[in-house]
């Protein structure tokens, strides 16, 4: 996979059985400075770390997207959050390891998206095969209503 390229598949979650497989979890608050067709600029606070992320829409046919992310000072992130669009995303992320290279990230949403639970896996190639755990529901990859920026 090229540097700064993200290939991910996203699914609804059918049960809370994933929690028994999670090795850790953390709290995330993220706000958007910009969300336009084809690009987003986001501030994310994860526990006591903060990040600035720029993402594109699809780079070409398929799943690949450009993603650039840099850690920033927590105080800077808190200040930038004041400039973000309304309704920040608030969620708890659970990490479920698959192997040394892959993991499931399951997001349990709070606030205005309370009750939504999504799982995603980042892949090295669009055709990479992976096992789907029993708690996984329908695939929603590519459906705009499940992009965090659209929530």
Cβ atoms of 37 and 151 closer than 8 Å: no
Please tell me the pTM assigned to this model. Answer: 0.86
Q: What is the DSSP letter of 73?
A: -
Query: Which member of 32, 94, 146, 147 is catalytic?
Result: 32
Cβ atoms of 30 and 46 closer than 8 Å: no
Cβ atoms of 29 and 107 closer than 8 Å: no
Q: How far apart are CA 151 and CA 137, in angstroms?
A: 19
**147 flagged as catalytic:** no
Per-residue pLDDT of 122-140, as tens digits, reads 998 888 999 999 999 999 9
Give DSSP secondary structure letters for 70-85.
EEE-HHHHHHHHTTSP
Q: How far apart are CA 130 and CA 47, in angstroms?
A: 29
Higher-confidence residue of 42 and 149: namely 42
Query: Could you tell me which residues are beta bridge partners of residue 61?
Result: none
Q: Is 138 helix (H, G, I), strand (E, B) or coil?
A: strand
Per-residue pLDDT of 66-108, as tens digits, reads 888 999 999 999 999 999 999 999 999 999 999 888 999 999 9
Inform me whether the pLDDT recorded for 27 exceeds 50. Answer: yes
């Amino acid at each position: 996979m090229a540097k700064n390229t993200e290939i991910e598949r996203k699914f609804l979650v059918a049960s809370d059985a994933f929690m028994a497989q999670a090795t850790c979890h953390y709290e995330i608050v993220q706000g958007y400075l910009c969300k336009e067709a084809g690009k987003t600029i986001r501030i994310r606070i994860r526990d006591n770390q903060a990040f600035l992320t720029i993402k594109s829409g699809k780079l070409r046919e398929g799943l690949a997207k450009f993603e650039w992310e840099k850690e920033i000072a927590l105080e800077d992130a808190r200040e930038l959050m004041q400039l973000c669009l309304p309704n920040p995303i608030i969620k708890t992320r659970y990490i479920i390891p698959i192997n040394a290279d892959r993991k499931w990230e399951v997001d349990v949403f709070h606030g205005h998206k309370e009750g939504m639970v999504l799982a995603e896996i980042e892949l090295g190639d669009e055709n990479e095969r992976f096992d789907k755990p029993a708690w996984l529901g329908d695939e929603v990859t590519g459906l705009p209503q499940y992009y965090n920026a659209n929530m």
